[in-house]
A and B are shown apart, each in its own frame.
Chain A
Amino acid sequence: TINTELTIPGTNLGLLLKTPTYCRHQVLRIKTKNEEEVKQLQLLESLEHLQLDFWINPSAPALPVDVRIPAASVQPVKAFLESQGIQYSILIEDLQDVLDKERQDMAESAQRQRSTSSFDFGAYHTLDDINAELDQLASEHSFVEKIQIGESYEKRPLYVLKFSTGGSNRPAIWLDAGIHSREWVTQASALWIANKIASDYGTDESITSLLDKMDLFLLPVANPDGFVYTHTSNRMWRKTRSKIPGSICVGVDPNRNWDAGFGGPGASNSPCSDSYHGPSANSEVEVKSVVDFIKSHGNFKAFLTLHSYSQLLMYPYGYKCTRPDNYAELESLGRAAANSIRSLYGTTFQVGPICTTIYQASGGSIDWAYDNGIKYSFAFELRDTGRYGFLLPANQIIPAAKETWLGLMKIMEHVKNKSS
Chain B
Amino acid sequence: DIDGVGHKYYLDLELEDVLDNDRTVNCTAEVLYHLGSKTSAPDVQLTVQGELRSTEEADKEFYHRIRSLEKELVAENIPDSHGNVPPELEPIHLLAWAASGYVIWQNSTENTNFNLAQVKHVKQVKRNDEDLQFDFVVLLHEMVSQEVLPWQVTLLWHPQRGARVPQ
Contact = CB atoms under 8 A, between A and B. Distances in A.
Interface of A: 123-124, 184, 230-231, 235-236, 238, 253, 268, 273-275, 310, 358-359, 386-394, 396
Nearest to A272: B147
A386 B81 contact: no
A274 B79 contact: no
B76 to A, nearest CB: 12
B117 A394 contact: no
B82 interface: yes
Contact of B81 (A235, A253, A310): A235
Contacts of B80: 391
A386 B140 CA distance: 11
A391 B83 contact: yes
B84, B139, B145, B148 — most chain A CB neighbours (10 Å): B148
B118 interface: yes
Nearest to A123: B82
A274 B83 contact: no
Contacts of B81: 124, 184, 230-231, 235, 391
Interface string B131-148: 000000001010111111
Given A388-B79, A393-B84, A394-B84, 19 more contacts: A124-B81, A184-B81, A231-B81, A236-B117, A236-B141, A236-B148, A238-B146, A274-B146, A274-B148, A386-B115, A387-B18, A389-B115, A389-B116, A389-B117, A389-B141, A391-B81, A391-B117, A393-B82, A396-B83
Contact of B147 (A123, A273, A388): A273
A386 B80 CA distance: 15
B134 to A, nearest CB: 20
Interface in B37-81: 79-81
A273 B116 CA distance: 19
A386 B118 CA distance: 11
B145 A268 contact: yes
A387 B117 CA distance: 8
User: Chain B CB within 10 Å — which of A387, A390, A393, A394 has the most?
Assistant: A390
B82 A124 contact: yes
Contacts of A275: 145-146
Q: Which 9 A-B pairs have the closest CB atoms?
A: A393-B83, A274-B146, A236-B148, A386-B115, A391-B83, A391-B79, A275-B146, A235-B81, A274-B147
B97 to A, nearest CB: 9
Interface of B: 18, 79-84, 115-118, 139, 141, 143-148
Given A389-B117, A391-B118, A273 B83 contact: no
A273 B81 CA distance: 22
Contacts of B79: 388, 391, 393
A388 B83 contact: yes
Contacts of A390: 117, 141
B147 to A, nearest CB: 5
Contacts of A231: 81
Contacts of B82: 123-124, 391, 393-394
A236 B118 contact: yes
B1 to A, nearest CB: 21
A231 B139 CA distance: 17
- Name the residue in A123, A274, A310 with the highest tally of chain B Cβ atoms < 10 Å from its Cβ: A274
B143 A358 contact: yes
Contacts of A394: 82-84
A51 to B, nearest CB: 31
Q: Which of B116, B143, B144, B146 has the most CB of A within 10 A?
A: B146
Contacts of A184: 81
Contacts of B144: 359
A391 B80 CA distance: 7
A187 to B, nearest CB: 13
Nearest to A255: B146
Nearest to B80: A391
A384 to B, nearest CB: 10
A386 B82 CA distance: 15
Nearest to A180: B146
Contacts of B118: 235-236, 391
B40 to A, nearest CB: 24
Contacts of B141: 236, 389-390
B95 to A, nearest CB: 15
Contacts of A273: 145, 147
Nearest to A239: B146
Nearest to B21: A346
A274 B145 contact: yes
A122 to B, nearest CB: 11
Contacts of B116: 386, 389
Contacts of B84: 393-394
A393 B93 CA distance: 14
Contacts of B18: 387
